Structure 1
């Protein structure tokens, strides 16, 4: 039932018990050997601890106690299933353990103790959460000379989570997902293939104060709307499910988006192999955002409307184009597209910032 070290002397008492909490099941066939009781009516195995006489000196008793403790440690301290005090580990060892978890777990563990806090803030931990090609990414930044000096790898990590970095001549942005440390990219409108995008009578390129990029594409008038983008899978985090999102806005006079559009995200091999992926219909109509917010949950369940623009936290809207699992490594390519080719309706007032690729939520990291 257990063990104890008796050091209380005259004022201690030992009590032993066995309980099975009622769980709605009958018990049967257990045999208990009845023990004799003492004069107080208690079971024989319930007894007070009494010393008949103190025959040993204080020093002798202390040596006996230390010997018993040492023997106990040698016999059972490292047995399987026994408790182990993590505070006894060196800080470097704790750092190595934390580096095998996630940024979210490391931040939580920093509240355990000062030793864990020091280990959780070490560069050896946060360096593992930075991509292996981080120096190449930073060197390709369009604003690398103006980047702040970071006092730690943790500070650099958090900066990249909250401040997307312009790279590749200002045509893309790079960031890190805070909970997992996985890569996020946005492909700017200038890097996308927009049909008739270079024709000033159909599209115009303007700066926008809320854009990450120097300019965005504003639709003046087209009957055939087609936007495509692509990115190499080697740039993305491996073994990760990504979502692709068209980031957009509408002007106050936007019109012509009542017909549904088709979006797709397809994977293609770097050797020109066939693409694979799904095609789905979405609504570009900005009024669909207001109508979805106003509709009841019962109506949404009974007849769910097609996906449409959703509000983001940065003042823009986005439409999910699809998702894919990145496992191709160095030789794959992701191709994303949006098409609305109902040539009987002219479309106007759409503003495109780019296509964002980021890890999907609620997945193992």
Structure 2
């Protein structure tokens, strides 16, 4: 779109009268704001630099209120509580901007943010908040630092007979459909001379039996799936299941697990990074298995 758009209005009763040169900048802010309501946030920001009318309209509270989740107040309370980190005097545009950042809660073990384009809730749950069988025994598990995780560390399994990972989250999810994924990698990544490599020394046992994933919600929904882990050296999002939130006025508790408890063989060489919850419409972005 060009920097300006102009049109002229002539007086039918006076053909000789000079035309009035009007530009898009002469549009009242209220009219410009009514247009912006129908655009997504990135488009609103582009229009804000078009001219003075759209710049002023782009700050209108009712424009940004239409982009925020309907229960954004409950979301703010859950994440920030009574903390002064979140200014209660923010305008709606600033609230949207603040919520689009990855905001930590529950002691930094979880992060939540709004997708910038759609305003939909996304969440990541650290391996540090998961109940992992044997996690405190260094013969089986260790915590390793890495820049490849949002949380700067992952749980690394060297070898074990009984694999069981459980977690839960309680959150005021806005109404909608959500998908839950486990972010896993076979092998341990490292860098050498600036090149990313993968140590697959401990990778074994994953071709014997599939990994089982489960989820359940506080309102009785359940889902299960199973898949063989594969492709060492790549972070893969394994789909555990979907759930639907009908009532955004209350918190939904979601429990999830990952197990491989066949004790006929050992398995190892697995990195557990996090569990992710995304709107189901985003599923194609992440799902491979």
More helix by share: 1
Q: Which residue of the partner structure matches residue 244 of structure 2?
A: 325
Secondary structure of 1:255's counterpart equals coil
CA 1:112–1:318 in 2, change beyond 3 Å: closer, same or farther?
Answer: same
CA 1:223–1:63 in 2, change beyond 3 Å: closer, same or farther?
Answer: closer
Q: Once the 2 structures are TM-superposed, how far is the Cα of residue 351 of structure 1 from its aligned partner?
A: 1.2
Q: Once the 2 structures are TM-superposed, how far is the Cα of residue 133 of structure 1 from its aligned partner?
A: 4.0
Please list the CA deviations of residues 179-230 of structure 1 after superposition, one character each: whole Å capped at 9, or x if unmatched: 2111111111121121222333221223222222253211122111121222
Matched, 1:335 2:250: no
The aligned runs of 1:152-191 (5 Å cut-off) are 154=93, 157-158=96-97, 160-161=99-100, 163-191=101-129
Please list the CA deviations of residues 22-51 of structure 1 after superposition, one character each: whole Å capped at 9, or x if unmatched: xxxxxxxxxxxxxxxxxxxxxxxxxxxxxx
Check the 8 A contact 2:65/2:92 in 1, yes or no: yes
CA 1:166–1:141 in 2, change beyond 3 Å: closer, same or farther?
Answer: farther
Secondary structure of 1:174's counterpart equals strand
Q: Which residue of the partner structure matches residue 214 of structure 2?
A: 264
Q: Which residue of the partner structure matches residue 246 of structure 1?
A: 182
2:272 alignment partner, one of 347, 352, 357:
352
Check the 8 A contact 1:141/1:166 in 2, yes or no: no
Q: In structure 2, what is the Cα distance between the partners aligned to 1:195 and 1:346?
A: 14
CA 1:244–1:343 in 2, change beyond 3 Å: closer, same or farther?
Answer: same
Q: CA RMSD in A?
A: 3.8
Q: Once the 2 structures are TM-superposed, how far is the Cα of residue 331 of structure 1 from its aligned partner?
A: 5.2
2:172 alignment partner, one of 232, 235, 240:
235
Q: Which residue of the partner structure matches residue 139 of structure 1?
A: 80
The aligned runs of 1:263-282 (5 Å cut-off) are 263-269=213-219, 275-282=220-227
Gaps spanning 5+ residues in structure 1: where? 1-6, 8-61, 67-85, 270-274, 290-310
Secondary structure of 1:170's counterpart equals coil
Q: In structure 2, what is the Cα distance between the partners aligned to 1:141 and 1:216?
A: 30
Gaps spanning 5+ residues in structure 2: where? 1-9, 16-23, 189-198, 284-289
Q: In structure 2, what is the Cα distance between the partners aligned to 1:141 and 1:343?
A: 48
Q: In structure 2, what is the Cα distance between the partners aligned to 1:321 and 1:63?
A: 68
Q: In structure 2, what is the Cα distance between the partners aligned to 1:212 and 1:107?
A: 27
Secondary structure of 2:281's counterpart equals coil
CA 1:276–1:156 in 2, change beyond 3 Å: closer, same or farther?
Answer: closer
Q: Which residue of the partner structure matches residue 204 of structure 2?
A: 255
- The structure with the larger Rg is 1
Q: In structure 2, what is the Cα distance between the partners aligned to 1:121 and 1:133?
A: 23
Q: Bigger shift: 166-175 or 329-338?
A: 329-338
Q: In structure 2, what is the Cα distance between the partners aligned to 1:332 and 1:153?
A: 25
Q: In structure 1, what is the Cα distance between the partners aligned to 2:183 and 2:82?
A: 22
TM-score, scaled to structure 2: 0.69
Q: Once the 2 structures are TM-superposed, how far is the Cα of residue 153 of structure 1 from its aligned partner?
A: 5.7
Check the 8 A contact 2:125/2:275 in 1, yes or no: yes
Q: Once the 2 structures are TM-superposed, how far is the Cα of residue 138 of structure 1 from its aligned partner?
A: 5.9
TM-score, scaled to structure 1: 0.56
